Amino acid sequence: MVFGEQGQVLRAAVFGSPVSHSLSPILHEAAYAALGLRDWTYGRREVTADELAAVVAGLDLEWRGLSLTMPLKEVAFDVAEAVTDVAREAGAINTLVRRSDGRWDGANTDVAGIVGAVAHAKQDGRATLLGSGATSRSAALALVQLGVRDVRVAARNEAATNDVLALLERHGVSGAHVALADWAVESRPLVISTLAPAASSSAADALKEAGSTLGGVTLLDVVYADWPTPLARAAGDAGAVVVSGLDMLVHQAAEQVELFTGRRPPVEVMFAAARRATIA
Q: Go through the chain and tell me how many residues it has.
A: 280
Task: Kindly report whether the peptide bond that precedes residue 18 is cis, defined as omega within 30 degrees of 0.
Answer: yes
Establish whether 208 is a catalytic residue.
no
Sign (positive or negative) of CA dihedral 176, 182, 184, 185: negative
**54: buried, middle or exposed (CB in 10 Å: 19+, 13-18, 0-12)?**
exposed
Choose, from 28, 44, 64, 73, the residue flagged as catalytic.
73
Pairwise CA distance, residues 64 & 165, whole Å: 35
DSSP three-state, residue 127: strand
Pairwise CA distance, residues 166 & 64, whole Å: 35
Residues 6+ apart with CB under 8 A from 262: 1, 3
Instruction: List residues with catalytic annotation.
Output: 73
